A and B are shown apart, each in its own frame.
Chain A
Amino acid sequence: MLVLWTDALIYLLIVAATMLAVYMSRQAHMRRPLKKIAASPVAIASLTLLLCFTLIGLADSIHFKDDNSKGNEAISLLDIACATMRAHGEKTYSAPFSAYAYGKENLTAEDGSTRWDYPRLQYGGAHLKNPEQQLTGDVFRKVVGGLGKGAGLMLMILLFAWSDKRERGKRLFRHPSAKAIWLVLFVVVSSFYTLFSLSEYYHVLGTDKVGEDVFYQTLKSIRTGLVIGSLTTLVMLPLAIVFGIMAGFFKGWIDDVIQFIYTTLNSIPSVLLIAASILMVQVYMANHPENFNNLLVRADMRLLFLCLILGVTSWTGLCRLLRAETLKLREMEYVLAAQALGVKPAMILFRHILPNVMHIVLIAVVLDFSSLVLAEAVLSYINIGVDPTTHSWGNMINGARLEMAREPVVWWSLTAAFVFMFALVLAANLFADSVRDAFDPRRAERG
Chain B
Amino acid sequence: MADTLLNVNNLIVSFGQSKVVDEISFHINPGETFALVGESGSGKSITALSVLRLLPNAARMQAKSITLQDQELTHIPEIEFCKLRGRRIGLIFQDPMSSLNPVMTIGEQIAEVLQLHFQLSQQQVKQRVLALLKQVEIPEPERRVNEYPHQLSGGQRQRVMIAMALAGEPDLLIADEPTTALDVTIQAQILELLKHLQQQTGMALWLISHDLALVSNIADRIAVMQNGKIVETGATADFFRQPQHPYSLKLLAALPKLENCLGKQSKPTMPLLKVEDFKVYYPIRKGIFKRVVGHVKAVDGVDFELHIGTTLALVGESGCGKTSMGKGLLNLIPAHAGRVLFDGVDLTQLSGESLRRHRAEMQIVFQDPFSAMNPRMLVGDIIAEGISSLRPEVSRAEKQNRVAKLLQQVDLPAETALRYPHEFSGGQRQRICIARALAVEPKLIICDEPTSALDVSVQAQIMTLLKGLQKSRGLSYLLITHSFGVVAEMADEVAVMYQGKIVERGPVEQVLTQPKHDYTRALLAAVPKLNGKISTA
Residues of A at under 8 Å CB distance from B?
Answer: 27-29, 332-334, 336-344, 347, 351-352, 355-356, 446-447
CA distance A338 to B330 in the complex (A): 12
Tell whether, in the assembled complex, residue A351 and residue B436 are in contact, meaning their CB atoms are under 8 Å apart: no
Which parts of B370-384 form the interface with A (CB within 8 Å)? 371-377
The answer, among A29, A341, A356, A446, for a CB contact under 8 Å with B363, is A341
CA distance A343 to B386 in the complex (A): 7
Binary contact readout B410-445 vs A (1 if CB under 8 angstroms, 0 otherwise):
000000000010000000000001001101100000
Instruction: Give the interface SS of chain A, mostly helix, strand, loop or mixed.
Output: helix
Tell whether, in the assembled complex, residue B385 and residue A341 are in contact, meaning their CB atoms are under 8 Å apart: yes
Tell whether, in the assembled complex, residue A341 and residue B389 are in contact, meaning their CB atoms are under 8 Å apart: yes
| List of A residues within 8 angstroms of B56 by Cβ | 446
Tell whether, in the assembled complex, residue A28 and residue B420 are in contact, meaning their CB atoms are under 8 Å apart: yes
Tell whether, in the assembled complex, residue B364 and residue A336 are in contact, meaning their CB atoms are under 8 Å apart: yes
Tell whether, in the assembled complex, residue A334 and residue B356 are in contact, meaning their CB atoms are under 8 Å apart: no
The answer, among B327, B359, B371, for a CB contact under 8 Å with A342, is B359
Tell whether, in the assembled complex, residue B16 and residue A340 are in contact, meaning their CB atoms are under 8 Å apart: no
Tell whether, in the assembled complex, residue B362 and residue A340 are in contact, meaning their CB atoms are under 8 Å apart: yes
CA distance A356 to B436 in the complex (A): 20
Tell whether, in the assembled complex, residue A447 and residue B362 are in contact, meaning their CB atoms are under 8 Å apart: no
| List of A residues within 8 angstroms of B134 by Cβ | none
> Given that A341-B389, A344-B356 are known contacts, is A333 also in contact with B366, CB under 8 Å in the complex?
yes
Tell me the nearest residue of chain A to B418, going by C-beta. Answer: A28
CA distance A29 to B376 in the complex (A): 7
> Given that A352-B374, A356-B375 are known contacts, is A341 also in contact with B360, CB under 8 Å in the complex?
yes
| List of B residues within 8 angstroms of A334 by Cβ | 371-374
| List of A residues within 8 angstroms of B377 by Cβ | 351, 355
Tell whether, in the assembled complex, residue A337 and residue B364 are in contact, meaning their CB atoms are under 8 Å apart: yes
| List of A residues within 8 angstroms of B360 by Cβ | 340-342
CA distance A404 to B248 in the complex (A): 82
| List of A residues within 8 angstroms of B374 by Cβ | 334, 351-352, 355-356
Minimum CB–CB distance for B17 against chain A, Å = 11
A-B contact list, 8 entries, CB within 8 Å: A336-B364, A339-B359, A340-B359, A341-B385, A341-B390, A342-B357, A342-B440, A446-B57
CA distance A316 to B327 in the complex (A): 33
| List of A residues within 8 angstroms of B373 by Cβ | 334, 337
The answer, among B363, B389, B437, for a CB contact under 8 Å with A344, is B389
CA distance A28 to B379 in the complex (A): 13
Q: Is B58 an interface residue (CB 8 A)?
A: yes
Q: How many of chain B's residues have a CB under 8 angstroms from any CB in A?
A: 34
CA distance A92 to B360 in the complex (A): 78
In the A-B complex, list the 9 residue pairs whose CB atoms are closest, starting with the nearest. Answer: A341-B386, A355-B376, A333-B372, A333-B366, A342-B360, A342-B356, A343-B389, A334-B374, A342-B390
Tell me the nearest residue of chain A to B377, going by C-beta. Answer: A351
Tell whether, in the assembled complex, residue A340 and residue B385 are in contact, meaning their CB atoms are under 8 Å apart: no
CA distance A341 to B386 in the complex (A): 5
CA distance A334 to B372 in the complex (A): 4
With A340-B330, A341-B386 already in contact, 11 other A-B pairs whose C-beta atoms are closer than 8 Å: A334-B374, A336-B366, A337-B366, A337-B436, A339-B332, A340-B364, A343-B389, A344-B389, A355-B374, A355-B377, A356-B374
Q: Is B368 an interface residue (CB 8 A)?
A: yes
> Given that A337-B366, A340-B362, A341-B436 are known contacts, is A347 also in contact with B376, CB under 8 Å in the complex?
no
| List of A residues within 8 angstroms of B364 by Cβ | 336-337, 340
Tell me the nearest residue of chain A to B372, going by C-beta. Answer: A333
Tell me the nearest residue of chain A to B368, going by C-beta. Answer: A333
Tell me the nearest residue of chain A to B356, going by C-beta. Answer: A342
Max chain B CB contacts within 10 Å: which of A28, A337, A340, A347?
A340
Tell me the nearest residue of chain B to A27, going by C-beta. Answer: B376
Binary contact readout B101-127 vs A (1 if CB under 8 angstroms, 0 otherwise):
000000000000000000000000000
> Given that A342-B390, A356-B375 are known contacts, is A337 also in contact with B58, CB under 8 Å in the complex?
no
Tell me the nearest residue of chain A to B439, going by C-beta. Answer: A341
Tell whether, in the assembled complex, residue A333 and residue B390 are in contact, meaning their CB atoms are under 8 Å apart: no
> Given that A29-B376, A336-B332, A340-B359 are known contacts, is A347 also in contact with B389, CB under 8 Å in the complex?
yes
Minimum CB–CB distance for A319 against chain B, Å = 21
Tell whether, in the assembled complex, residue B420 and residue A29 are in contact, meaning their CB atoms are under 8 Å apart: yes
Which parts of B20-50 form the interface with A (CB within 8 Å)? none
Minimum CB–CB distance for A229 against chain B, Å = 28
| List of B residues within 8 angstroms of A339 by Cβ | 330, 332, 359
Minimum CB–CB distance for B386 against chain A, Å = 4
| List of A residues within 8 angstroms of B368 by Cβ | 333
CA distance A342 to B58 in the complex (A): 43
CA distance A446 to B371 in the complex (A): 19
| List of B residues within 8 angstroms of A337 by Cβ | 364, 366, 372-373, 433, 436-437
CA distance A23 to B309 in the complex (A): 46
| List of A residues within 8 angstroms of B437 by Cβ | 337
CA distance A27 to B360 in the complex (A): 30
| List of A residues within 8 angstroms of B15 by Cβ | 447
CA distance A334 to B429 in the complex (A): 12
| List of B residues within 8 angstroms of A355 by Cβ | 374, 376-377
CA distance A338 to B373 in the complex (A): 9
| List of B residues within 8 angstroms of A352 by Cβ | 374
Tell whether, in the assembled complex, residue A336 and residue B420 are in contact, meaning their CB atoms are under 8 Å apart: no
CA distance A447 to B374 in the complex (A): 22
| List of B residues within 8 angstroms of A27 by Cβ | 376
Binary contact readout B319-331 vs A (1 if CB under 8 angstroms, 0 otherwise):
0000000010010
> Given that A29-B375, A336-B364 are known contacts, is A343 also in contact with B385, CB under 8 Å in the complex?
yes
The answer, among A338, A347, A447, for a CB contact under 8 Å with B58, is A447
| List of B residues within 8 angstroms of A340 by Cβ | 330, 332, 359-360, 362-364
CA distance A338 to B332 in the complex (A): 10
CA distance A310 to B66 in the complex (A): 63
Minimum CB–CB distance for A347 against chain B, Å = 7
Minimum CB–CB distance for B485 against chain A, Å = 23
Tell whether, in the assembled complex, residue A332 and residue B359 are in contact, meaning their CB atoms are under 8 Å apart: no
CA distance A339 to B326 in the complex (A): 14
CA distance A29 to B386 in the complex (A): 22
| List of B residues within 8 angstroms of A351 by Cβ | 374, 377, 385
CA distance A333 to B360 in the complex (A): 16
Minimum CB–CB distance for A353 against chain B, Å = 9
| List of A residues within 8 angstroms of B376 by Cβ | 27, 29, 355-356
Tell whether, in the assembled complex, residue B371 and residue A332 are in contact, meaning their CB atoms are under 8 Å apart: yes
The answer, among A333, A336, A447, for a CB contact under 8 Å with B16, is A447
Max chain A CB contacts within 10 Å: which of B368, B375, B439?
B375
Minimum CB–CB distance for B434 against chain A, Å = 11
Minimum CB–CB distance for B47 against chain A, Å = 21
Binary contact readout B484-495 vs A (1 if CB under 8 angstroms, 0 otherwise):
000000000000
Minimum CB–CB distance for A339 against chain B, Å = 6
Minimum CB–CB distance for A358 against chain B, Å = 8
Tell me the nearest residue of chain B to A446, going by C-beta. Answer: B58
CA distance A356 to B376 in the complex (A): 7
CA distance A28 to B57 in the complex (A): 28
Tell whether, in the assembled complex, residue A342 and residue B389 are in contact, meaning their CB atoms are under 8 Å apart: yes
Which parts of B305-347 form the interface with A (CB within 8 Å)? 327, 330, 332
> Given that A29-B420, A447-B16 are known contacts, is A338 also in contact with B372, CB under 8 Å in the complex?
no
CA distance A345 to B376 in the complex (A): 18
CA distance A336 to B368 in the complex (A): 13
Tell me the nearest residue of chain A to B16, going by C-beta. Answer: A447
Tell me the nearest residue of chain A to B386, going by C-beta. Answer: A341
Binary contact readout B395-418 vs A (1 if CB under 8 angstroms, 0 otherwise):
000000000000000000000000
| List of A residues within 8 angstroms of B366 by Cβ | 333, 336-337
CA distance A337 to B330 in the complex (A): 10
Minimum CB–CB distance for B73 against chain A, Å = 26
Tell whether, in the assembled complex, residue B359 and residue A338 are in contact, meaning their CB atoms are under 8 Å apart: no
CA distance A344 to B366 in the complex (A): 20
Minimum CB–CB distance for A108 against chain B, Å = 77
The answer, among B385, B420, B433, for a CB contact under 8 Å with A338, is B385
CA distance A402 to B390 in the complex (A): 69
